[in-house]
Amino acid sequence: EFNTYKNALEAAQKDGKDYTDDCQLVEHIGVECGVVIGAYENIKITTKGGDKGTTSLGNGTRVAKDDRRVELYGTLDECQAALGLARAACISQKTAEDIFFLEDYLFNAMAYFAECDFPEPDPQILENVSSRVAASIQEAQIFVRPGDSSCGAALHLARTIARRAERTATPL
C-alpha cells in the first residue's frame, strides 16, 4: 500500500491539493477509505499542511484556520478529549459505555462540520445520552463541585466545552 500512498502524494502535489489526513489524500486518487480503530501510539499531532494559516475541510476546500467551522470541530475535539479523560476515570461500566458513545458521536459530528460525507448530528441524541450519564452518577455533588471525583471533574470540563461548541455552532 506504500505505492498507493506515494501515488496519492504525487497526485495531490501535481493538483495543488493540501490534505490534512491520509484518508483524504488517497481518496483524491479514487481509493476508498474507512475508519479503523488503531493503536493509541499512532496519533498524528501535526500535518504541517496548515502552516500558511489555512486548513482543508473534508471536501478539500481550503479555509482560514479561524473559520467558524474549524473552531467548531476543534472545540468538539476538545470536548471529546475531556470525555475520554472522564471515561478513563469512570468506575461504572455502563457510564463508561455511555461516555464512549458520546465520544463516537462527537467524532461523527466533527466529520459533519468538517464537511465530510457524514449525516447531520441530532442534538436530541446527545441530550438523551448526556442525561443518562448525569443520572447514573450517584452523588449530586459530582456536578456541583467539579473536583469531587476525577470522572465528575472531567465530565464537568466536557460539559463546559460542549457549551462553548454550542455557542460557536449557533451562527452556523
- pLDDT number for residue 141: 42
- pLDDT number for residue 137: 62
Grid coordinates belonging to 170: 449557533
| pTM beyond 0.95, yes or no | no
- pLDDT number for residue 20: 64
Query: 147: which DSSP letter?
Result: G
Amino acid (1-letter code) at residue 123: P
Give the residues of the chain that fall short of pLDDT 50: 45, 139-143
List the beta bridge partners of residue 64: 54
CA distance 151 to 84: 10
- pLDDT number for residue 84: 92
137: left (phi over 0), alpha (psi -120 to 50) or beta: beta
- pLDDT number for residue 75: 94
Q: Tens digit of pLDDT for each residue in 43-76?
A: 554 555 556 788 888 888 889 989 999 999 999 9
